[in-house]
Amino acid sequence: MRQPWVVGVSGASGTPYARAVLTGLLDAGEAVDLVVSRAARLTLLDETGLSFRDAHWRDDLTSWLGRDGGDVAYWPAGDLGAGPASGSYPTRGMVVVPASTASLAGIAIGLSKDLLQRAADVTLKERRPLVVVPREAPYPRSTLQHMLTLHDAGAVVLPASPGFYGTPTSVQQLVDFVAGKVLDVLGVKHDLLSRWTGELGASRRDAP
């Protein structure tokens, strides 16, 4: 039985994080159900120049990832009758990356205004792993409260905060660090980040 990870892309800035998580899951041979919010389409267009269209989603996904999409099913954000909207639809869990403050609020209060929020609500009620990756600064009190609500409900709140102890030399390495932390939470194997060994300066000595 196919049991995908649901990846929800909301309208926050940070579509490279979504791309890195999607690529990491597909590289690991995982199945993915993808939901791209209406606001995320605008952000994707602004940050990459790429459109994401329901009717041409496979071609647009290939252009975005720079590779064949693999085992990906796509559900329009307005389709509240989609598979991930029901708890009886088998999934392994869900990642919302990047997670906008609006999506955090909607998930925290159970608003279910679109498929992304509904799928996240289903993930929580079915006690499946839910990782939300907020990308905002600074955080107002209301957003911090929504994060705490999600934490208390069982979600993992994983801000897009890259580490520097691996001595990154490119923006992509910083992006991959965050994606790697997401995949760690999901238990998906990857080689996206340099891990701390307990030895100061090891990453600099190992660098080519």
* Domain harbouring 179, CATH code: 3.40.50.1950
Predicted confidence at residue 79, as pLDDT, reads: 98
Tens of pLDDT, residues 53-76 = 999 999 999 999 999 878 999 999
Say whether pLDDT at 93 is over 60: yes
Q: What is the pTM of this model?
A: 0.95
**DSSP secondary structure, the chain, as one string:** ---PEEEEE-SSS-HHHHHHHHHHHHHTT--EEEEE-HHHHHHHHHHHS----GGGHHHHHHHHHTS---SEEE--TT-TTSGGGSTTS--SEEEEEEE-HHHHHHHHTT---SHHHHHHHHHHHTT--EEEEE--SSPPHHHHHHHHHHHHHT-EE-------TT---SHHHHHHHHHHHHHHHHT-----SPPP-S-TTHHHHH--
Domain count, the chain: 1
Predicted confidence at residue 201, as pLDDT, reads: 75
Residue 20 structural domain: 5-206
Tens of pLDDT, residues 16-39 = 999 999 999 999 999 999 999 999
Tens of pLDDT, residues 161-208 = 999 988 999 999 999 999 999 999 999 999 999 898 888 877 666 655
